Amino acid sequence: MTLEPEKLVPDDVRPVLALGVSRQAVQDAMHVAFLFNVFDRLADAMGWDVPAEGSGFWQTSAKRLLSHGYR
């Protein structure tokens, strides 16, 4: 999907549907994959970095999410 999206065909999805995954779930997964790809490319292009584990960023962010939720 990332490098050659034009090569994705219905036969690629049929085995997933045969396992009982809904069409909506497949569509949702494709949207998530597309958005991840966009954000990954933006991060690379703009030089975004993941903060170091010892920076305190993750602890502060976790506390904020626990107290305020996603907004």
Q: 57-67: per-residue pLDDT in tens?
A: 999 999 999 99
pLDDT at 70: 83
End-to-end Cα, the chain, rounded Å: 30
Going by pLDDT thresholds of 50, 70 and 90, the confidence category of residue 71 is confident
Helix (H) or strand (E) holding 42: helix 23-46
| pLDDT tens by residue, 7-59 | 989 999 999 999 999 999 999 999 999 999 999 999 999 999 889 989 999 99
What is d(CA 28, CA 35) in angstroms, rounded to the nearest whole number? Answer: 11
pLDDT at 5: 84
- Which pLDDT belongs to residue 66? 95
